[in-house]
A and B are shown apart, each in its own frame.
Chain A
């Protein structure tokens, strides 16, 4: 079965050359669909509890516009460099691919650092996980996203290690591609966190 559908067209990107690779990539899209549903429930809780701010600071008083824009741009740049890594992978430039992946990781770490700093700032302002319904749902949503970023960083570190050991094969290329889909998806979710939570939170 695997042999029948294997294309030998040299123009086919490495990650799509085996039937396993094609199915793994498609399967990952199904997983991303489930992740959308997961984040949708957290957004639903957040928006439903938006006015439950009794006994704590208001988001409009503690959110910082510049800080939020910088975090958004950092994650957007990391999504962009992750795309450049795939572009280089398809041109068989393994070294450039790894350089872009490492840059992606550096921006990912910078984003996490800023998010943790922001959480510390918010807790000092009197907004912690147990303050009220609003801040509980805020930390649940942004924390789940931050946890995904943390997981993504660890995953990509392991994949870079594997590419360094085994070289770029249809198998490792597929793993790099799937992890890049995951990384883009983190920015995909952040677009809505930025818009729904921070921007609208600062509007009022």
Chain B
């Protein structure tokens, strides 16, 4: 049922996830502060990077796919992401664009 990690003494998953997260953080800083892109492009790019880094936390650090309920755990976080995007993007849209 569960894949064992006892056979792997080195925490590859955590180390790779950590290095990727650091790289994504600095990439976001570079896009925001140095790349000189239009504001709307910056917003889209840094949020894409943020969602990738969030997925790294879930899959590489939090072992979201593990356990008997792995598929439900993924489903729960996907539905939470949907709720979050509706609340945040919906509120901003209604309050800024509706007159």
A binds B: yes
Q: Is the CB of B6 within 8 A of A195?
A: no
Chain A binding surface, main DSSP class: helix
Q: Which residues of B line the A interface, CB within 8 A?
A: 1-2, 4-6, 9, 11, 13-14, 17-18, 21-22, 25, 28-29, 32-33, 39, 42-43, 46-47, 49-50, 53-54, 57-58, 60-64, 66-69, 72-73, 76-77, 79-81, 83-85, 87-88, 90-92, 95-96
Knowing A32-B80, A37-B80, A37-B84, say if A191 contacts B67 (CB, 8 Å): no
Contact A83 B42 (CB under 8 A): no
CB atoms of A11 and B2 under 8 A apart: yes
Q: Are B33 and A76 in contact (CB under 8 A)?
A: no
Residues of A within 8 A of B (CB): 7, 9, 11-13, 16, 22, 25-26, 29-30, 32-34, 36-37, 39-41, 43-45, 47-48, 65, 69, 72-73, 76-77, 79-80, 82-84, 86-87, 90-91, 180-181, 184-185, 187-188, 191-192, 194-196, 199-200, 202-204
Q: List 8 A-B contacts (CB under 8 A).
A: A33-B80, A39-B84, A40-B83, A72-B25, A191-B54, A196-B50, A199-B46, A200-B46
Are B92 and A47 in contact, with the CB atoms below 8 A?
Answer: yes
B83 x A84 contact (CB < 8 A): no
Residues A90 and B6 in contact in the complex (CB < 8 Å), given A48-B92, A200-B43: yes
Contact status B61-A43, CB under 8 Å? no
Q: Is the CB of A203 within 8 A of B87?
A: no
B54 and A202 contact, CB distance less than 8 A: no
Given contacts A83-B14, A195-B28, 15 further A-B contacts (CB under 8 A): A11-B2, A25-B69, A32-B77, A34-B80, A40-B85, A44-B87, A44-B90, A44-B91, A48-B96, A69-B25, A80-B17, A80-B61, A180-B62, A192-B50, A200-B32
